[in-house]
Homo-oligomer: A and B are copies of this chain.
Amino acid sequence: MSDAYLGFANSPIGSRIAAALGLPQPQPLERFAPGQPVIRGTVLLGGTATSELLTALAGIFHSIGAQTLAHRGLPQWTATANAAGLMTGRWGVEDQPGEKLKALVFDASGLDDSSQSDALYQFFHDTARSVLSCGRVVVLGRPPEACANPRKATAQRALEGLTRALAKELKRAIAVQLVYVAEGAEGHLESTLRFLLSPRSAYVSGQVVRVGGASQPAAALDWNQPLAGKKILVTGASRGIGTAIAEVMARDGAQVICLDVPQAQDALLEVATRLGGKALALDIGAAEAPQALVDAALADGGWDVVVHNAGITRDKTIANMKPHLWQAVVNVNLSTQERINEALVASGALKPGARIVCVSSISGIAGNMGQTNYALSKAGVIGMVQSTAPHLAARGITINAVAPGFIETQMTAAVPFAIREAGRRMNSMGQGGQPVDVAETIAWFASPASGGLNGNVVRVCGQSLLGA
């Protein structure tokens, strides 16, 4: 649960020893606490003459209350920002850098051709050394698959390589993301930008997010209590990541229905009571679980959010694996979730605008030795999210998934030292994530303001080196 090395490397003496020996020097991550502003520091805006999202961005930064500046490549930001009632100015004088920056936002939506990529170079060349620790970088583009011609699609797709390389290069716990905003979806960008610019996204880096059109316009929201009044089911809530999810949901205003297997009832009751929620002791792998959940939801007057956090591992090489270990993992991690979603949707037990959030895994993306069952189930979760998203959109429901990397839990604390250390360090943050990092990401998907997110799979892995 604790990363002793992180403390050592950031102690006065330890940091000198680590530097002298060339050891990793992971930076403690800033995390969100209630009452904090979205971003503490200045945001620099960059882009091209043809940037298409500036008006939307000005409105969002006004709503956030952020201090922004314009890079020399985006002089038109000043006028756009002023029109939105936002104080702003130019960053730097002549070719000299200006003040240190907490975030960089580059609007690449107007990039029509790879030969225009110099604008990206100029912006990041000028600013790379000016980003503060735990800073944030967001590149905005248009989804390549929807671009009008191959040249534009190619340029937009190229942004992904830049983003992932920058995320590996900037270090110092600076997170870098790419957000593809569909044309017409500008009004749904705010929840995503608030998440990615804030410490809530501490352990999310090198990710690609797609914001699309939603079935309803984004509703006005109390951003301090975005889940106020929402009824949210969290499975596997009695410990670890599940408990963290329930805590974050409750913090953000939700009434949480905490579910776990009957064997975990004591811990479950403790969590539910502490959070002012309900406890629901139920084995989701049982055949009758979908109907039981429908009944519980309808008795509650319907649920707003379902978080499929519960999952199990039963690791063995396939040659050594018993059939029931295969079946249990595939059933609990995937098949039962398909049945539960179908039952909840068909019965109307999910309210209009409901959110389903699933949990995949790097194992489901990259595969893992000894986890054929787990990897199949977690790749299937991605399939479920991608294939059901269009169907659910027709009902105003969204479905997305997080894919955690190395998260510090009781489970990972039991991993042998060398493997644990490798998992902790082999990512751009040089450390494992905390359960709250997964929970914050799920809360972002769960927000009523996140109607533009549907079918996304976002890793919470500090940009782990592992992948496919």
Closest B residue to A128 by beta carbon equals B319
The reply on A2 being an interface residue by CB < 8 A is: no
The reply on A158 being an interface residue by CB < 8 A is: yes
- Residues on the B chain within 8 Å of A434, using CB: none
Question: Are the CB atoms of B125 and A164 closer together than 8 Å?
Answer: no
Question: Are the CB atoms of B169 and A364 closer together than 8 Å?
Answer: no
Give the CA-CA distance A327 to B154 in the complex, in Å. 16
Give the distance to chain B from A428, nearest Cβ to Cβ, in Å: 9
Per DSSP, chain A at the interface is: helix
**Chain A 143-176 near chain B by CB (<8 Å), digits 1 or 0:** 0110101110111111111111111110000000
The reply on A11 being an interface residue by CB < 8 A is: no
Q: Which of B121, B159, B379 contacts A162 (CB 8 A)?
A: B379
The reply on A415 being an interface residue by CB < 8 A is: no
Give the CA-CA distance A383 to B115 in the complex, in Å. 14
Question: Are the CB atoms of B364 and A161 closer together than 8 Å?
Answer: yes
Give the CA-CA distance A416 to B131 in the complex, in Å. 30
The reply on A51 being an interface residue by CB < 8 A is: no
Give the CA-CA distance A383 to B334 in the complex, in Å. 31
Q: Which of B128, B157, B321 contacts A125 (CB 8 A)?
A: B321
Give the distance to chain B from A464, nearest Cβ to Cβ, in Å: 9
Question: Are the CB atoms of B154 and A384 closer together than 8 Å?
Answer: yes
- Residues on the B chain within 8 Å of A166, using CB: 318, 367, 372
Give the distance to chain B from A350, nearest Cβ to Cβ, in Å: 16
Question: Are the CB atoms of B125 and A169 closer together than 8 Å?
Answer: no
Contact-residue bracket for chain A: 35 or more
- Residues on the B chain within 8 Å of A149, using CB: 387
Question: Are the CB atoms of A386 and B144 closer together than 8 Å?
Answer: yes
The reply on A373 being an interface residue by CB < 8 A is: yes
Give the CA-CA distance A162 to B53 in the complex, in Å. 40
Give the distance to chain B from A410, nearest Cβ to Cβ, in Å: 24
Question: Are the CB atoms of B367 and A144 closer together than 8 Å?
Answer: no
- Residues on the B chain within 8 Å of A248, using CB: none
Question: Are the CB atoms of B386 and A153 closer together than 8 Å?
Answer: yes
Further 19 A-B residue pairs, CB within 8 A, beyond A157-B386, A161-B365, A366-B465? A114-B338, A118-B327, A121-B318, A124-B372, A125-B323, A150-B338, A150-B387, A153-B386, A154-B334, A155-B380, A161-B364, A161-B377, A162-B376, A165-B363, A165-B367, A165-B376, A169-B369, A467-B467, A467-B468
- A residues sitting closer than 8 Å to B (CB atoms) are 113-115, 117-118, 120-122, 124-125, 128-129, 144-145, 147, 149-151, 153-169, 206, 317-319, 321, 323, 326-327, 330-331, 334-335, 338, 363-380, 382-384, 386-388, 391, 465-468
